[in-house]
Amino acid sequence: MDTHALIRQLVQKNDSKIVMYVADGLGGLPQKPGGKTELETASTPNLDKLAAEGVCGGSIPVAPGIAPGSGPGHLGLFGYDPVEFLIGRGALEATGIGFKLEEGDVAIRANFCTLDSDGNIADRRAGRIPTEESTPIVERLAKEVSISGIETVILPVKEHRFVIVLRGDGLVGNVDDTDPQATGVPPLNPAARDDASQKTAEVCSQLLEQVRKLLADEAKANFCTLRGITGKPSIPSFEEVYGLHAAAIAVYPMYKGLANLVGMDIIGEAQTLDEQMEVLKSVWDKYDFFFIHFKYTDSTGEDGNFDAKVKRTEEYDAAVPAIMELGPDVFIATGDHSTPSMLASHSWHSVPTLLWAENCRCDPATSFGESQCLTGGLGQFEAKHLMTLALANAGRLGKFGA
């Protein structure tokens, strides 16, 4: 079923406000079977109160057993089937450093590599060259590379990784990687996968030729490979699909970038949750939908630090009253995936989710945690349905059929 086609038919506007408050990697695991997860260990009086008044459930980011990255995790929360709407690696890398891709851009993830004297790859990551060494090299490329009729944007990321964006007429991003995924062989030439991408492949070849000359004297980073040569993903906007004027209030570039891909306005320069709440308050009257992103439940989980994740979860909870005093019609607390500190990585486990709204049909859950979410009224559901539920609870969907 094409849920978006259905929603477009049914959407009706009103003056309701929806808040989606995302704790990255929220779901967790107990330290021992039968114990409490990070969320269940944390003291979260504000979320517990909303869980008692609202409805809970377990959100499955993509499909049972699938652990998503930030891209598919957030696309699911935003109501886009994360298997249908794919963000190419180049586009995600550019998005991740906050670059705003435009229609027709082609984004590339580039890796510095080391070529030996025969032109074969000796090190695919240029000895994982430190960021402080790689950044000046990227800046030099940004200054020197020049391709007729094409604007090139070259930006550092971290260590051996950087981003190239090509902007110009007739560029289509369907070109093979040039990384041969092996050493002792030369890099591959950029090969178009379709006729429409021929020009992009030629531009990539010119670019690589210039890079080879410019970096010839570098000890480690004397060349680069190109990966994930992709255009801006074609994703209908929040305004188009849901009729929502949406704002994103995030700290990290990746999440601003993801929100931007679905057409949200990126608001403010907040660096802390308190500052995010100030930004929220300042634009409350101007938007219908607010995506607020909190990173540290994920990063502490990735660090494998159970206690730190508990503490960060408590910070996440402590900011809830600042949202609720603004009077949202629909409040959702969830995560884009689980990041159990016991695994120190993203996982496939369902994500505790609560939806609070006047007519949400309150369930028996009395606090917010993985176990209580199992018997919640939202059941175990695919994340992509959450936006439909948000719209319904906000009175923004008409009846389907007579």
Q: How far is the CB of 353 from a second copy (least distance, A)?
A: 12
| Selection from 270, 277, 367 nearest residue 319 by Cα | 277
Q: How far is the CB of 181 from a second copy (least distance, A)?
A: 15
Candidates 143-151, 171-179, 284-292, 347-355; binding stretch for a second copy (CB under 8 A): 347-355
CA atoms within 13 A on the CB side of 81: 7
Which class for 87: exposed (0-12), middle (13-18), buried (19 or more C-beta within 10 A)? buried
Nearest-angstrom CA–CA distance, 219 and 216: 8
Is residue 25 within the footprint of a second copy (CB under 8 A)? no
Q: Which is nearer to a second copy, 242 or 290 (CB)?
A: 242
Q: Which two tokens stand for residue 317?
A: 């909870």
Is residue 97 within the footprint of a second copy (CB under 8 A)? no
Q: Which of 19, 87, 155, 248 binds a second copy (CB under 8 A)?
A: 87
* Separation of CA 218 from chain center: 34
Q: How far is the CB of 382 from a second copy (least distance, A)?
A: 8
| Selection from 359, 357, 339 nearest residue 349 by Cα | 339
Binding track, positions 352-391, relative to a second copy; x by CB under 8 A: -------x-xxxx-----xx--xxxxxxxx---x-xxxxx
Pair type for strands 289-294 and 246-249: parallel
Q: How far is the CB of 83 from a second copy (least distance, A)?
A: 5
Q: How far is the CB of 73 from a second copy (least distance, A)?
A: 8
Is residue 51 within the footprint of a second copy (CB under 8 A)? no
38 contacts 301 by C-beta, under 8 angstroms? yes
Q: How far is the CB of 84 from a second copy (least distance, A)?
A: 8
Q: How far is the CB of 100 from a second copy (least distance, A)?
A: 18
Is residue 148 within the footprint of a second copy (CB under 8 A)? no
Nearest-angstrom CA–CA distance, 360 and 332: 11
Q: Which is nearer to a second copy, 5 or 182 (CB)?
A: 5
Q: Which of 17, 30, 198, 324 binds a second copy (CB under 8 A)?
A: 30
Q: Which of 346, 352, 367, 369 binds a second copy (CB under 8 A)?
A: 346
Nearest-angstrom CA–CA distance, 142 and 162: 11
57-86: which residues touch a second copy (CB under 8 A)? 58, 62-73, 81-84, 86
| 184 phi, psi to nearest 5 deg | 80, 5
How many residues in the shown chain lie near a second copy by CB under 8 A?
Answer: 73
Is residue 29 within the footprint of a second copy (CB under 8 A)? yes
Is residue 191 within the footprint of a second copy (CB under 8 A)? no
Is residue 136 within the footprint of a second copy (CB under 8 A)? no
Is residue 92 within the footprint of a second copy (CB under 8 A)? yes
**Bridge partners (DSSP) listed for residue 165:** 107, 153
Q: Which of 198, 205, 210, 345 binds a second copy (CB under 8 A)?
A: 345
CB atoms within 10 A of CB 186: 14
| Selection from 75, 67, 59 nearest residue 350 by Cα | 59
Is residue 234 within the footprint of a second copy (CB under 8 A)? no
Q: Which of 340, 351, 352, 354 binds a second copy (CB under 8 A)?
A: 340
Name the amino acid, one letter, at 230: T
Nearest-angstrom CA–CA distance, 300 and 296: 6
